Chains A and B, each alone.
Chain A
Amino acid sequence: MSNATGQHELEKYAALWEEAQGVQGISLGQDAWRRLKRNRGAVISLIGLVSIALLALLTPMLPLQPPQRVDTERIFAPPTFAAAPAVEAEKVDAHFGIKGGINLLMVKIRLAVFGEWSVPSICGTDELGRDTLARIFWGARVSLAVGIVATLVSLVIGVSYGAVAGYFGGRVDNVMMRIVDMLYSVPFICVVIMLVSILNDKAVKAVLEEYGINQIAIFFIIVGAIYWLTMSRVVRGQVISLKNEQYIEAARTIGASRLRIIFRHLVPNVLSVVIVYLTLTIPSVMLFEAFLSFLGLGVKAPEVSWGLLVNQGFSVITPIKVYWWLVLFPGLALAMTLYALNFLGDGLRDALDPRLKNK
């Protein structure tokens, strides 16, 4: 090989290298985020949801009226801009319904910053004179917490179950999916009602209180234990289509154990599908919690949740006096949050669709 052709090849490769430098690789995540940003509805939903979550987290610090202060002089007050009664600093525990810790700290900060002033009752008051706006904010904490935690519980159970069933295949898969089918045949509500009635019994409750699990935690677990079925089916389908890929074979060749392959290689790759189902499960869970609270089986007073608020608002509807604000505002809060979650889930599903990559 003479020097001239060597030089020519060198230049050719140098030119290719220059060209390659200009091209930027895009990961699936970046591509998805770019597509998501173009969907304005989804972006608005995302911003809305993040702000709702932040407000819910910081609720004790907001200048709202105490959600559990009974004020018999202001029963059933319609929405108004009149000044609200002052906050009584000595009765903070009872009026805010907090048991110390971080919540107490936040309320103390609020009292230091805003003093005794609070936002007037622009959403009216209920049958005990409690401010509806404040109850909506405090109820948001419970409803959102149920949605997120229960979904995470169902995520953990569903993904592990589906990934194991999909990877092992054969008889193990068959048995596992039969169990899922059997569970599908039972309407959830029966299971939940039975579990709730068992766990609400005094003796069982006493035992659980010792372990520090209060009623809301039980609720999270029950709801999460019901919603893992769909997640496991979806993950199983994905795993079955992924398990014949070459990188799985490579991992097996170098001696990776089955468990390692499942959790280290397969699960991260089904993440996109899981994320979409996650954002679509949260509204279902919140809706389910609202249903149960409406029936009186879910969150119980003095805790507040949106479902409970709608229930209480509904129970005072009479043909004589229509207290529309007790139903409209909690219902609106619930509806807008669920709407935003559904919109975001749809947007995510379109953004993460691999068939639309680089479009």
Chain B
Amino acid sequence: MIRFLARRLIWFVITIWVVMSVSFLLARAAPGGPFTQERKLPPHVEDAWREKYNLNDPLIVQYVNYFVNLAQFDLGLSFKMHDFTVNEVIAAGFPISASLGLMALLFALTLGLFAGVVSAVRRGGFWDLSLMAAATVGIAVPSFVIASVLILLFVFTWPVFPAAGWGQPINMVLPAFCLGAPYAAYISRLTRTGMLEVLSQDYIRTAYAKGLSTRTVVLRHAMKGAMLPVVSFLGPAVAGIIVGSLVVEKIFAIPGLGVHLVNAATLNDYTMMLGMVLVYTVLLYGMNTLVDLSYRFIDPRVELE
């Protein structure tokens, strides 16, 4: 396992290096600089700004400087938000986005697993059909459409939830639901398929023959076998939640990282854009590695490569 982690770490460094280099060159290749959006600055003012951000150095010097700073976890100054470093902005927004994403993931897992298990155990019954129909709706309907409809219903028609903002636990309910709904739907379908396969195995029949209750059989014996596709799905699910959070944060006015990424791209804020790419890539890579690690614990027959 140590060799597995070591190899992952090496690939992590290589991936980060390649991704950040490509992003760096792409960001510099964008013809507009960070100053073309604003009104025309007097030349000496623009020169002063360029000096401050080291934009006058040759490209290779800027490149090396960036990576040297990166190794020390310094992501530089933001081009647009003049009083903040990128680190500060990320430190402010990341906990919020992370807690939203975590809530959404937990919600998706619990609802999805529960619905999938119930569907599989009561196969062909009322619950199975209705839950699977709801799951297809959850997959097909975009999260912002769900969010808009839910806002219309539960904020304006019957005032149950607050429309926007962050701070109280009740603020988290609607956003986490909208963000996690499609993934709950996917997970319920995956769980159902996996459970159906596992429940037809011989060892489950033995467990029933021994007189164990349905609950014990499902929770203690069948669950582990059915978990593997769900766990494999967690990697892409996190990627999807990252993308979806941009939209949900915009809808519910949540002060997370999403708005900074979109603004950075449209306003040509190089350092912020690179910082965001770094955060998201690290997150995704870490998640994928965790998923691969967990295979070993779930199914001991799996060999870690």
A76 at the interface (CB under 8 A from B): no
A203 at the interface (CB under 8 A from B): yes
Q: How close is A22's CB to chain B, nearest CB, in angstroms?
A: 37
Chain B residue with Cβ nearest A322: B156
CB-CB under 8 A from A331, the residues of chain B are 141-142, 145, 148-149
The answer for the CA separation of A310 and B276 in the assembled complex, in Å, is 27
Q: How close is B149's CB to chain A, nearest CB, in angstroms?
A: 7
CB-CB under 8 A from B212, the residues of chain A are none
- Contact present for B149 and A291 (CB under 8 Å): no
User: Of A196, A297, A335, which contacts B140 at CB under 8 A?
Assistant: A335
The answer for the CA separation of A184 and B251 in the assembled complex, in Å, is 27
The answer for the CA separation of A203 and B32 in the assembled complex, in Å, is 8
CB-CB under 8 A from B31, the residues of chain A are 198, 201, 203-204
Q: How close is B72's CB to chain A, nearest CB, in angstroms?
A: 23
Interface with B: A116-124, A144-152, A185-193, which one? A185-193
CB-CB under 8 A from A198, the residues of chain B are 26, 29-31
CB-CB under 8 A from A294, the residues of chain B are 144, 247, 250
B266 at the interface (CB under 8 A from A): yes
Given contacts A190-B277, A317-B151, contact A291 B265 (CB under 8 A): no
Interface with B: A128-136, A235-243, A253-261, A337-345, which one? A337-345
User: Of A186, A322, A342, which contacts B139 at CB under 8 A?
Assistant: A342
- Contact present for B156 and A186 (CB under 8 Å): no
Interface residues on B, range: 35 or more
Q: How close is B223's CB to chain A, nearest CB, in angstroms?
A: 25
A180 at the interface (CB under 8 A from B): no
User: Of A187, A190, A297, A324, which contacts B152 at CB under 8 A?
Assistant: A324
- Contact present for B151 and A287 (CB under 8 Å): no
- Contact present for A310 and B136 (CB under 8 Å): no
Q: How close is B238's CB to chain A, nearest CB, in angstroms?
A: 9
- Contact present for A327 and B15 (CB under 8 Å): no
CB-CB under 8 A from B148, the residues of chain A are 310, 313-314, 317, 327, 331
A197 at the interface (CB under 8 A from B): yes
8 Å CB contacts to A: which residues of B154-183?
Answer: 155-157, 163
Given contacts A185-B288, A186-B284, A335-B140, contact A194 B273 (CB under 8 A): yes
Chain B residue with Cβ nearest A328: B149
Given contacts A194-B23, A328-B149, contact A187 B144 (CB under 8 A): no
CB-CB under 8 A from A313, the residues of chain B are 148
- Contact present for B280 and A197 (CB under 8 Å): no
Given contacts A185-B281, A201-B31, contact A310 B144 (CB under 8 A): yes
CB-CB under 8 A from B277, the residues of chain A are 186, 190, 194
A262 at the interface (CB under 8 A from B): no
The answer for the CA separation of A204 and B30 in the assembled complex, in Å, is 9
B246 at the interface (CB under 8 A from A): yes
- Contact present for A187 and B142 (CB under 8 Å): no
A20 at the interface (CB under 8 A from B): no
Chain A residue with Cβ nearest B26: A194
Contact with B along A328-353 (1 / 0, CB 8 A): 10010011001101110000000000
CB-CB under 8 A from B261, the residues of chain A are 189-190, 193
The answer for the CA separation of A189 and B242 in the assembled complex, in Å, is 9
B285 at the interface (CB under 8 A from A): yes
CB-CB under 8 A from B151, the residues of chain A are 317
Chain B residue with Cβ nearest A185: B285
- Contact present for A310 and B145 (CB under 8 Å): yes
B92 at the interface (CB under 8 A from A): no
B137 at the interface (CB under 8 A from A): yes
- Contact present for B239 and A187 (CB under 8 Å): yes
Which of B26, B144, B266 has the most CB atoms of chain A within a 10 A radius of its CB?
B144
Q: Across the A-B interface, give the 5 residue pairs with the lowest CB-CB distance, nearest first.
A: A331-B145, A339-B140, A193-B265, A338-B140, A335-B141
Q: List 5 A-B contacts (CB under 8 A).
A: A185-B281, A185-B288, A186-B281, A193-B273, A331-B142
Q: In the complex, given contacts A202-B32, A331-B141, what are 9 additional A-B residue pairs having Cβ atoms less than 8 angstroms apart?
A: A186-B19, A198-B31, A291-B243, A310-B145, A314-B148, A317-B148, A319-B156, A327-B145, A334-B141
Give B contacts to A, CB under 8 Å. Answer: 14-15, 18-19, 23, 26-27, 29-32, 136-137, 139-142, 144-145, 148-149, 151-152, 155-157, 163, 239, 242-244, 246-247, 250-251, 261-262, 265-266, 268, 273, 276-277, 280-281, 284-285, 288
